[in-house]
Every structure is written in C-alpha cells, then in structure tokens.
Amino acid sequence: DVIKNYFLGYDLLNSDFTISLGTKKVERHTMFHDESDWRATLAETGSQTMTGGRIKKIERYIDADTFMVTYGDGLSNINIEELIKFHKKRGRIATVAGVRPMARFGELSVTGDLVKNFSEKPQIENGWINGGFFVFQRKVFDYLDEECVLEKEPLERLASDKQLAVFKHTGYWRCMDTYRDLEALNQEWAG
C-alpha cells in the first residue's frame, strides 16, 4: 500500500507545492524529477505468495522477451547494462548475479595453535551466493507456477537443464534481510 500510494501521489511527493488547507486546493510549483515517460505496473500477488508464484502472477504484464527481477532487499553497484549484455551473450533462459557476501564472523588463519592472521568479517573469497538480481527470458514462465518458490525447483531445474548462467559480481553487495543488516548499512552510510 505504501508503494502504491507513493506512485499515486508521485507528482506531489516530488514537487514543491502550495496547499490551501480550507479548500484542499493544491498548486504545484517545481517538480524535482520528471519521470513522466516511466510506466510502473504494481501487481497485487498476495501476501502469502512465494517468490516464484509472484513472478508467475505478473506474466500477463511482461511484454518483452527479456526482463529483470530483483528481490528489492539487496544494495549493489552491479552494472545493469553489463549484466544484460552478459545474459544475452550466454543465450540462456535465466541469469543470476552471483556475489560473495561479507562473512558474518571474524576469520582466523591458524598455524598449529597460533593465530597467523585475524580478519574481522572479511568478504568471502570462495563460493558464490544468489545476489538477488536476475535477467530472464519469457521461457522462464514455463518453469514457474503460482505456488512455487523460485529458489527451489525452478532455479534447480534451470541449472539442471543448463539454462541458468551466473554473472559473477565482485563489487559492492549487501543485503538487508535483518535488523542487524539494517544497522550495519546505517553505520556504513554514516561513514
């Protein structure tokens, strides 16, 4: 509802304006941003719908053969143009951005019973995780139903069918899944 109200009131939220409180007459002055050529489709998919089901439920709104999806809780400097170029070059149904997250705990490099090196919450150097940024072809809808979890059967089947490419992003990436993540990002922002 907050997101829908944001878009419904976009003009006023992004403008200077004068309001006459008695009549509720609004005079808009300067708009900070002009995205009047943008189109945003907000689809109600249901609060209990899983990630794959949400994508399946928007199928009727996707006109392009290639489209992008993100969870919305990741913050990254992924180059979107490079991600799309990579996806098209690989010619697969799906591409996921693979990232190496920050470790949750400090890392010890040990020799015998002595700590050789200590690193507090370093970026993980081995292995990749789902960074939450995807590029899909329309054929992905064949792997989805309205009850599925994207990260289970659909992505597992795409991988098994050799239709899931990974765009390895080694730059900035953080998630905001928990209050702890929120605090860490706020600290980072504060500098």
Q: What is the pLDDT of residues 168-190, one digit of tens each?
A: 999 999 999 899 999 989 999 99
Predicted TM-score of the model (pTM): 0.81
Terminal C-alpha separation, the chain = 32
Q: Partners of 130 in the beta sheet? A: 98
pLDDT confidence bin for 40, thresholds 50/70/90: confident
pLDDT at res. 109: 73
Nearest to 166 by CA among 129, 191, 141, 140: 129
| Residue 25, helix vs strand vs coil | strand
pLDDT at res. 80: 96
